[in-house]
Structure 1
Amino acid sequence: MFTVKDTRVEYQKSPVGIGTARPRLSWKLEAAERGTSQSAYEIELAEEKDFTRLIWQSGRVESSQSVLVELDFPLAESCKRYYYHVRAWNHKDELSPWSEAGYWEMGLLQSADWSADWIAAPLELLPVDAEPLPLLRKSFELSGTVKEARLYATSLGIYELELNGQRVGDSYFTPGWTSYGHTLQTQTYEVTELLAAGGNAIGAWLGNGWYKGYLGWSEQNRLYGDRLALLLELRIVYSDGKEERIVSDDSWTAAVGPIQVSEIYHGETYDARLERDGWSTAGYNEAGNGWYAVEIVQHSKEILKPQINEPVRMQEQLKPLAFIMTPKGERVLDFGQNMVGWVRFSVEGTAGTEVALLHAEVLDHEGNFYTENLRSAKQSIRYVLKGGTKETYEPRFTFQGFRYVQLIGFPEELRIEDFTGIVLHSDMEETGQFACSEPLVNQLQHNIKWGLKGNFLDVPTDCPQRDERLGWTGDAQMFIQTASYLTNVAPFFTKWLRDLEADQNDESGVPFVVPHVLKDHERSSAAWGDAAVICPWTLYVCYGDKRILAEQFDSMTAWVKYIRRQGENEFLWNTGFHFGDWLGLDAKSGDYIGATDRDLIATAFYAYSVSIVQKTAVLIGRMEEAAEYKVLYDQIVAAFRAEFVTASGRLAVPTQTAQVLVLMFGLLDEKGEQRAIAKLAELLEQSDFHLTTGFVGTPYLNHVLSAFGQNAAAYKLLLQQTYPSWLYPVTKGATTIWEHWDGIKEDGSFWSKDMNSFNHYAYGAIGDWMYRVAAGIQTTEEAPGYKRSIIAPQPGDGLDWAEGILETQYGELRSRWERAGDGVFLLEVTIPANTTALIKLPSAYNLESVTESGTRLQDSVGVLTVSQTETGVVIDAGSGSYRFEWLQEA
């Protein structure tokens, strides 16, 4: 017996308000029998959950595809809900039951679907330079019994809605941050249960957010516009079939709310004395309370798109671990974890009393509160008490990066239970787990995961605390592979890549940050701009998403064409500004850019991106272009060798990063590869097995070592505890990844105060190697998205066991190896139904000695083929759980 379970639409469970006109379905098969695969499937769509009235049937489709299956039915309609279920036939032609009914609901797809107006507080109430934030409201009457109701909304700025005094939805920072001149996302909410018979009221809070607030380190604000505005449409269907719309228009009113200051970087000031009790309920009396008629403002609706990615949501709640009195007499809470979000707190006192919370990542070497690395970001929350009773508050339109919180103005007697850290980030499904026998490496894995949590807040930011928090393209492409193990990042990066394409400049260059807000930096850098190519390709490999390649192909080709125009000849990129091996430790004193020749880095990434574009063209059927890019790739490689490789095959640039890039990207012939890996080994010996790589070289360093016979060196680097190394920050108490290898030096002093984030995910790219090599979980380009996996752990000295678990779109994929003593080696593998895996048993040189679950390997059910190779036993296996055991030879 087998079943169909965990059905999804565009990666999500029963999404409401999507904008994909031809959605794709995915499902998993569950079966006890090994070697289960799908031979066919059938899908039915209906307008009602009971499927009595079908609107489309696929019929039996002979296919093993169960992930991202595009439905071949007429384009979906705005606001409509579709129910579906799936059944499948297995390899024995046995039929499963129908899956549980799933659904998806469309958002408002076209600008013409909107009948609402953009509304804003009048300028006489809040001029464009005013800091207080507005409240908007409208009361209305229902004319019957409600069957269902949907609320569609977006804003210029960020918004939060209330309906009859209740918060609408569980999303934060809506509508999110996009390239606002090109795209503005809209959200859909099910609000049937929030409506009441008779009188009702809608209320909206508006905040500056990324739209109007400060962005970057140059005191820039109002980059997208200078007025906050709301667009809202409530569609009500009554039991008798009648429909009604309540829309944002000139019948709404506005007032100044209690939020007096709100900025992403600087925090919020909230005066509880200015609260307007009941303002979002029907019985509220506006008369004489400072409410003014709103103004209609003109703004495009052509840019409106239903939300693609998962919204930001509240994820966890952390209680402080300790209360600290610093040597300077500062009262500080320690949450024990560098986190991103805010603090919810309760306080009691007299009206007008102001309390403040300041946020910091670290204490200085004397144990005092340290904020110099925040630069101009204030990260402060100020609250003015209403008085009379205990008051509880948390911010709305700002977020902080912090572990420590300084308390100012609070009563002398503090209760630690009155403070809660609220963790916020994009609501990506957690998919990966890694653990091993070394506790420091497990803490490193923890830090990598929390680096993602802290920096994947609607866009992939570089840091969550200082006056930056921007979507740096280089950081994103360096980390996306690791991120794809930790969580399902496909919707998150799909949304971000559309902004990247929108922000490509007139010459098709890619800005340093996306969305592009550094208007005084219109240049493009190698390895940063290559995110246009590397990120969609990684999504394809990790999720099997070919559609993202088709959608981004024009952006990908535009980028390589841009590079081709830059060099002094079209096959080298040897002009312009580049970040190079950013923060490489072999940099000249006082320089952020490592010693590796920037022309070498630029041309290496040029070749790499062209190779990806060539493969992409083949996959999407652009064969003529594929042939052209193959020729271009060969020309770039030839030019690279002529420029950077001596006649004897030696790479002319003797740095760790140079050797790593040419080996990772396959830019040398066999002789050159031998010279390069030997040189890399020599450089590591000279540094006593410490890395000198920066942002460009570090993500690939251990991969190159393991791939070219230097796996022992890779483990030495992983397990190195002295500076510079991945574990050095762990030994200094880090709970997230640092921007600099020595953000805190051995003597407790800091690397710098200008650019020293303690939550900066780029160096967390080692997580990719931990999953792919240490645990041994990989997918293949030929059958991406783990349709065909490779389980090939490469154990090394220093670890007695390691385990990786990945929840793929097919189900759980697991690899766990252990040295069991007396030379016995164990490997446990779980392969999801409807997939296969190539399993490589390391150092298993005697096929007859290998057993699986206590039986002879060749007799094991589910094992398809077995072969003996020079490096070990190789097994081709179908789905199921396996336990391999053998005597490992040296």
Structure 2
Amino acid sequence: MNEKNIYAPYDLRCQYVREPLGLDSKRPLFSWVLKHDDMGQFQTAYQVIVSDDPELIERGQGNMWDSGVVQSGDTANVVYNGKELKSRTRYYWRVRWWDKNGDVSPYSEVAVFETAFLDQSDWRAKWIGNGSDQVFEAQSDGFKPQQNYQMRYGSLFRKEFIAKKPVKSARIYISGLGYYELHINGCRVGDRVLDPGQTDYKKTVLYSTYDVTGFLREGANAIGVMLGNGRYIANYGYGAPCLIAQLHIDYVDGTDDVVVTDDTWKVGDSPIRENGIYYGETYDARLEIDGWDMPGLDDSNWDNAVLVDAPGGRLTSQVMPPIKVCKVMQPVKMTNPAPGVYIFDFGQIFTGWVRIKVEGERGQVVRLRYSELMGDDGMLNFNVNRTAEATDTYILKGQGVEVFEPHFTYHGFRYVEVTGYPGTPALDCMEGRFVHTAVEPVGSFACSNDLINNIHKNIIYSQLCNLMSIPTDCPQRDERMGWMGDAQLTAEEAIYNFDMAAFYAKYLNDIKDSQKEDGSIPDVVPHYWSIYPADPAWGTAYITIAWEMYRYYGDTAILKEHYDSMKKWVEFLSSQEVDGLVNYVHYGEWCTPGSIPPKHTPREITSAFYYYHDVLILSEIAGIIGKYDDQKRLREKADKIREAFNKKYYNSERHFYGNNDQTSNTLGLQLGITPEGEEKAVVENLVKHVVEQADYHFDTGIIGTKYILDTLSDYGYVDAAYKMMTQESYPSFGYMIREGATTLWERWEKLTGSGMNSQNHIMFGTVDAWLYKDLAGIKLGKPGWEEVIIKPVIPKGLKHAAASTKTIRGVIKSAWAIEDGEFTLEVAIPVNSKAKVYIPELWENKSLSIEGKEGPIEGFGVKDTVECGRKYYLVELGSGNYCIKLK
């Protein structure tokens, strides 16, 4: 064996996370990525070893699990199948692989995962609260009539304890509802914010695990916890904020101690007074208590915490990426439109808050108000916030330069209004803190058209702004809910750009928690707004996201886990059938140009479409997990729905769907709905509408927009799709940018009054997947990227496009350019994947060459193929980096 050619696996992950701290899965999933010098390589076998002894694993021994040599190409979602795992235990694992030649790699570097509490009985801590009935009221949201929000003032909890001996290791397991901030011995622990992730707390409560070994010292120690409201408020059916924490200390001599929350903890008033997601935060620095999180404080005047009822949900380890301050933003401009009023402009809409430096007298009140818009008078336009007060208030303690940033709120904004500032603020007195779920970026896209690049940038910002432990609709107003329509539509786009696996695994559990006995699920998950049953175009998120997890991450375990609940959803839809279709609808084709509800598209056609979609996809899922009777029955059901759909919505004489609108025809062309042989005629009607009636503009809402560009490209109308994406007049993405948008709007129109006019919604961001799949040409072939399709479209006027995305198997790249009569396509295919590469036949009688790492590749097989009137050269390639030239 030439050991230089085959490398040890790398990027080892457990439950999609690198070296997770605090798993509560008894059979976690493993994955790894491969590297090989040779081209066309793939895995034929692997061996995983797991040990609870670091010395054994270094010697290549797995005393917990040795899979042996498994003849398999799987590099992702390999299920642990060893001895029973124990709670609070550190495990070490490695993997090696065999290539197509039978050569074996070295073992990987040692990776680690650590379990938290595998059984609820491991929890010895009690839920505690501050026992106060004092509340404040903030304005309610404008979506559903209800009383104003009743919330609690912030609280401080503390507990002193003695570490009797030198500490070997220490872990704390903690959840504070709604949000908490953890301190030990005067230091903030971790960089998580707005923790834990949002759930239905009556079903699931997430807890986090921290390694606090370095925070403890032999002798006296203290834990301090700040607690705020978050979503854990009475209006959503919950109690007062509460806390549970359990600290395990392992000493060098092998003994241990446990510190738990109980009624011996002390509780006091926090400098955080009013606080809420929509409200903002009031912080009175005069109430700060020096040393509140340190040992030795005289807390005799503090009250004892009270034991409170548990929220009801199962305590579950939070595996998905936490929310963090992911980027620091600098203001680009400051104005002074009125005496004592200062407006800071960050030049970009984002989510989070600002950190401000201020020096003044004790009791001075500084207010920060946030908005996405500025009015013509130079003052902020707060209409987009609706009833969300979005105001942070800082009351100075009067001790030199003071620094403030909020703890338990967030805002969507570009502009910040500052009033009450002592003196005149400088531009550098504040910085923006861009806050969102810290998903790993995995994708990149760029092309020769700057407008397209700016659209992509705006989509990225909108997507990140709306990842806040749940996929939200918007970040600025009195809403910020987990609307499932937005979630399902943008799933593919999000996966191309970010590592979404752990995030979506959590959200699928949220959906499952929301399901009623009759199988219905709500429009909003978690169901803080109880809107049942979901519009079928929203409820499809359950099946769609699970399906995308399988398609893009190869995760069959998640299909098995959720199958019964997804089946109940489909059965609920079936119970609503009328003439073979589901016709009830809440929203339909939402936010078409000039309208909120559908303007041209039949309202119920989207419900009928997604009924067919869900039944068809569930039949596929049933087959994948071995439910063959269900597969047959569901497939037969799907065929009947398709027949009913065509009977009601298809004009077989004139070959169009619905009202011959863009969305109806686009939906009719999905999933094999159109009668065989009649697709071309339907496409021609679609294109005629795009060209003649819409002048190459979108006339779709959020649903049609997702599918229309792919559909046009798939049927050969690439130039029409490209023209739609490069328009700068209304309605278009270019129009938004022309009018100053730095994120995506909720509406196609520029609206700055009250109502539905968010400047930062992600639901139209679905088009970003088209940039990857068609303009750059990276398409999924077989699930889990076992097969990659590289098939760039070449619209007139575009000179080059490039994209890459880091998949579960490694990085895939496609970059093409046309220059001086030569077409160049650079392709990277990861080890263990195969690719079908389609090279557009741009010129007659041209030569085709392929170069790999070692130079020209001779004897490659080329097939001529024609698809939708376009000629391609088709080349099948294995892993490696290639440069393909047509000249």
TM-score (norm 1): 0.94
Structure 1 position 815 matched with structure 2 position 820: no
Alignment-derived partner of residue 141 in structure 2: none
Tell me whether 297-306 or 384-393 shows the greater mean CA deviation.
Answer: 297-306
Alignment-derived partner of residue 712 in structure 2: 705
Provide, for residues 744-786 of structure 1, a one-character-per-residue CA deviation record: whole Å limited to 9, x for no partner: 4xxxxx3x42111111001111001110011100112xx3121
Structure 1 position 163 matched with structure 2 position 184: yes
Alignment-derived partner of residue 680 in structure 1: 686
Structure 1 position 802 matched with structure 2 position 809: no
CA contact (8 A) 2:488 2:544 kept: yes
Alpha-carbon distance in structure 2 between the residues aligned to 1:148 and 1:306: 20
The alignment partner of 1:493 has SS state of helix
Structure 1 position 310 matched with structure 2 position 321: yes
Distance 1:297 1:617, change over 3 A: same
The alignment partner of 1:541 has SS state of helix
CA contact (8 A) 1:314 1:424 kept: yes
Alignment-derived partner of residue 623 in structure 1: 628
CA contact (8 A) 1:159 1:207 kept: yes
TM-aligned CA deviation for residue 328 of structure 1? 8.7
Alignment partner of 1:20 out of 25, 38, 45: 25
CA contact (8 A) 2:24 2:317 kept: yes
Alpha-carbon distance in structure 1 between the residues aligned to 2:597 and 2:883: 49
Provide, for residues 77-107 of structure 1, a one-character-per-residue CA deviation record: whole Å limited to 9, x for no partner: 2111110111122222222222111010111
Alignment-derived partner of residue 62 in structure 2: 54
The alignment partner of 1:688 has SS state of coil
Tell me whether 102-111 or 254-263 shows the greater mean CA deviation.
Answer: 102-111
Structure 1 position 670 matched with structure 2 position 667: no
TM-aligned CA deviation for residue 287 of structure 1? 2.8
Alignment partner of 1:200 out of 221, 224, 231: 221
Structure 1 position 209 matched with structure 2 position 230: yes
CA contact (8 A) 1:26 1:66 kept: yes
Alpha-carbon distance in structure 1 between the residues aligned to 2:299 and 2:854: 81
Alignment of 1:480-519 (within 5 A): 480-519=491-530
CA contact (8 A) 1:510 1:524 kept: yes
TM-aligned CA deviation for residue 687 of structure 1? 1.4
Provide, for residues 810-844 of structure 1, a one-character-per-residue CA deviation record: whole Å limited to 9, x for no partner: 2211000111122x111110111121111000125
* Equivalent residue letter for 2:863: S
TM-aligned CA deviation for residue 595 of structure 1? 2.4
Alignment-derived partner of residue 528 in structure 1: 538
TM-aligned CA deviation for residue 439 of structure 1? 1.0
CA contact (8 A) 2:585 2:604 kept: no
Alignment of 1:175-574 (within 5 A): 175-212=196-233, 221-288=234-301, 291-299=302-310, 303-326=314-337, 330-519=341-530, 521-569=531-579, 571-574=580-583
CA contact (8 A) 1:327 1:366 kept: no
TM-aligned CA deviation for residue 586 of structure 1? 6.4
Alignment of 1:759-838 (within 5 A): 759-780=760-781, 783-822=782-821, 824-838=822-836
Alignment-derived partner of residue 732 in structure 2: 725
CA contact (8 A) 2:350 2:465 kept: yes
Matched residues, number: 860
CA contact (8 A) 2:221 2:294 kept: yes
Alignment partner of 1:38 out of 27, 31, 43: 43
Distance 1:313 1:864, change over 3 A: farther
Structure 1 position 742 matched with structure 2 position 749: yes
TM-score (norm 2): 0.94
- Structure 2 gaps of 5+ residues are 138-149
CA contact (8 A) 1:339 1:401 kept: yes
Alignment-derived partner of residue 145 in structure 2: none
Distance 1:683 1:856, change over 3 A: farther
TM-aligned CA deviation for residue 285 of structure 1? 1.3
CA contact (8 A) 1:847 1:873 kept: no
TM-aligned CA deviation for residue 523 of structure 1? 3.2
Alignment partner of 1:867 out of 851, 856, 863: 863
Alignment partner of 2:609 out of 601, 604, 610: 604
The alignment partner of 2:528 has SS state of coil
The alignment partner of 2:331 has SS state of coil
Provide, for residues 582-610 of structure 1, a one-character-per-residue CA deviation record: whole Å limited to 9, x for no partner: 111264xxx53332112322111111111
Alignment-derived partner of residue 216 in structure 1: none
CA contact (8 A) 1:604 1:665 kept: no
Alpha-carbon distance in structure 1 between the residues aligned to 2:166 and 2:539: 55
Alignment-derived partner of residue 755 in structure 2: 754
TM-aligned CA deviation for residue 65 of structure 1? 1.3
Distance 1:125 1:248, change over 3 A: farther
Distance 1:366 1:671, change over 3 A: farther
Alpha-carbon distance in structure 1 between the residues aligned to 2:516 and 2:376: 45
Alignment-derived partner of residue 143 in structure 2: none
Alpha-carbon distance in structure 2 between the residues aligned to 1:19 and 1:430: 26
Alpha-carbon distance in structure 2 between the residues aligned to 1:444 and 1:146: 53
* Equivalent residue letter for 1:180: Y
Structure 1 position 69 matched with structure 2 position 78: yes
* Equivalent residue letter for 2:665: Q
TM-aligned CA deviation for residue 432 of structure 1? 0.4
Alpha-carbon distance in structure 1 between the residues aligned to 2:613 and 2:312: 39
TM-aligned CA deviation for residue 222 of structure 1? 3.4
CA RMSD of aligned residues (A): 2.0
CA contact (8 A) 2:192 2:324 kept: yes
Alignment-derived partner of residue 98 in structure 1: 107
TM-aligned CA deviation for residue 54 of structure 1? 3.4
* Equivalent residue letter for 1:549: L
Alpha-carbon distance in structure 2 between the residues aligned to 1:247 and 1:832: 48
Alpha-carbon distance in structure 2 between the residues aligned to 1:605 and 1:340: 32
The alignment partner of 1:326 has SS state of strand
The alignment partner of 2:54 has SS state of coil
Provide, for residues 223-276 of structure 1, a one-character-per-residue CA deviation record: whole Å limited to 9, x for no partner: 132311111100111111111100001111100110111000110000000001
The alignment partner of 1:728 has SS state of helix
Provide, for residues 870-890 of structure 1, a one-character-per-residue CA deviation record: whole Å limited to 9, x for no partner: 321111111111111113xxx
Alpha-carbon distance in structure 2 between the residues aligned to 1:249 and 1:851: 72
Alpha-carbon distance in structure 1 between the residues aligned to 2:421 and 2:132: 36
Alpha-carbon distance in structure 2 between the residues aligned to 1:403 and 1:880: 44
Alpha-carbon distance in structure 2 between the residues aligned to 1:424 and 1:865: 50
Alignment-derived partner of residue 578 in structure 1: 586
Distance 1:372 1:40, change over 3 A: same
- What percentage of aligned pairs have identical amino acids? 35
- Structure 1 gaps of 5+ residues are 213-220, 745-749
CA contact (8 A) 1:236 1:243 kept: yes
The alignment partner of 2:132 has SS state of coil
Tell me whether 227-236 or 846-855 shows the greater mean CA deviation.
Answer: 846-855
Provide, for residues 374-430 of structure 1, a one-character-per-residue CA deviation record: whole Å limited to 9, x for no partner: 100011110000002100111110001011111111133222222111111111111
* Equivalent residue letter for 1:831: I
Alpha-carbon distance in structure 1 between the residues aligned to 2:735 and 2:372: 17
TM-aligned CA deviation for residue 688 of structure 1? 0.9
Structure 1 position 655 matched with structure 2 position 661: yes
Distance 1:413 1:34, change over 3 A: same
Distance 1:416 1:817, change over 3 A: same
TM-aligned CA deviation for residue 671 of structure 1? 4.3
TM-aligned CA deviation for residue 126 of structure 1? 7.7
Alpha-carbon distance in structure 2 between the residues aligned to 1:127 and 1:464: 23
